[in-house]
Amino acid sequence: MYSVNYHRATSVADAASKAKGEAKYLAGGMTLIPTMKQRLAQPGDVIDLMHIGELKGIKVEGKVVTIGAGTTHAEVAASAAIKAVCPALCHLASHIGDPHVRHRGTIGGSIANNDPAADYPAAMLALDATIATNKRKIPAGDFFTGLFETALEEGEIVTAVTFVAPDKAGYEKFPNPASRYAMTGVFVVLDGGSVRAAVTGAGETGVFRSVEIENALAGKFEASALDAVTVPADGLMSDMHASADYRANLVKVMAKRAVGRAKG
Ligand SMILES: Cc1cc2nc3c(=O)[nH]c(=O)nc-3n(C[C@H](O)[C@H](O)[C@H](O)COP(=O)(O)OP(=O)(O)OC[C@H]3O[C@@H](n4cnc5c(N)ncnc54)[C@H](O)[C@@H]3O)c2cc1C
């Protein structure tokens, strides 16, 4: 490691006031610390958000779910209140990484980082969540703007995410056997008459909604409705783990499994 100034913030306002120049916020450190070790990030100052009470906690009022940015994946996975209205999100959280990652990593850190293979971005997009920051509210559809890119401005802090639990939701991913990141993951939602399907781990520009999957499921919310669907490989990633064609097939397979899970 190299020399860095550590600041323990006591509130969101305190954290924001300390964010100057190349400073970085630290949540669970599950991405930031390895990135610093590899010298991919070299902040002079690190501002620790993990001791800020107002960033923590889960609130479920009717079908409205609000999760503080500092809430860990393990807390979401174990939340009986979320499970009662949107079990798919608990299922997703329980399959992130390993126990260490789940007990340190946070929902705010995950969506602020916007790794193209991360699980939560697909959920946020399909659930049509709203991302609250210390400055404004951002619809998930406008939040994820590219690989490791978001609509967050310099120094802006994610404070919470909010969504209305849909009638049905399901998530399935094909995990990388080493990291458990999604080689492809699909989160499907049936809400009233409308269907949303968001794909992670596959897109060259990060998380996206699949028009092909949504159109097919809008007619009939059944896995069999996807039998005749062809997902185009254009715009999908090819890397050492899988080709774009392979991922295109995985989108369809994961979507079918996600619908099966949504329907119980
Ligand atoms: C071995 C391993 C396996 C993993 N497997 C998976 C997986 O299967 N699926 C998956 O989705 N993820 C996976 N992850 C990532 C994990 O989910 C982390 O939680 C995620 O990367 C965010 O980490 P963090 O909360 O610790 O944030 P940090 O690492 O502390 O921060 C990440 C970035 O977000 C910024 N940030 C953090 N909080 C905020 C905030 N409130 N507002 C604004 N900016 C903020 C930081 O400045 C930094 O740039 C894995 C990680 C590891 C190390």
Whether pLDDT at 261 is above 70? yes
Kindly give the distance from the C-alpha atom of residue 166 to the centroid of ligand 1, in angstroms, as a whole number: 26
Atom of ligand 1 nearest to the CA of 175: 8
Give the residue, by CA position, lying nearest to ligand 1 atom 26.
28
Task: Name the residue of 11, 22, 32 to mutate for ligand 1: max ligand atoms within 8 A of Cβ.
Answer: 32
Residue 261: its H or E element: helix 244-262
Tell me the pLDDT tens digit for each residue of 39-95.
998 999 999 999 999 999 999 999 999 999 999 999 999 999 999 999 999 999 999
Domains and CATH numbers, the chain: 5-48 (3.30.43.10), 54-164 (3.30.465.10), 168-262 (3.30.390.50)
Nearest to 261 by CA among 125, 174, 168, 185: 168
State if residue 109 touches ligand 1 by the CB under 6 angstroms criterion.
yes
Closest ligand 1 atom number to CA of residue 70: 41
Pocket test for ligand 1, best of 24, 40, 110, 171 (most atoms within 8 A of CB): 110
The pTM for the full model equals 0.97
pLDDT over threshold 60, residue 1: no
Find out whether the beta carbon of 130 lies less than 6 Å from any atom of ligand 1. no
Cα–Cα distance for residue pair 138/37, rounded to 1 Å: 31
161 has a pLDDT exceeding 80: yes
- The torsion angles phi and psi of 160, rounded to 5 degrees, stand at -170, 165
Q: Above 90 in pLDDT, residue 230? A: yes
Percentage of the chain exceeding pLDDT 70: 100
Residue 109 CA to ligand 1 centre (angstroms):
4
Give residue 210's pLDDT band: very low, low, confident or very high (50, 70, 90): very high
Confidence of residue 186 (pLDDT cuts 50, 70, 90): very high
pLDDT of 28 above 70: yes
Is any ligand 1 atom within 6 A of the Cβ of residue 158?
yes
Cα 126 to chain centroid distance, Å, stands at 10
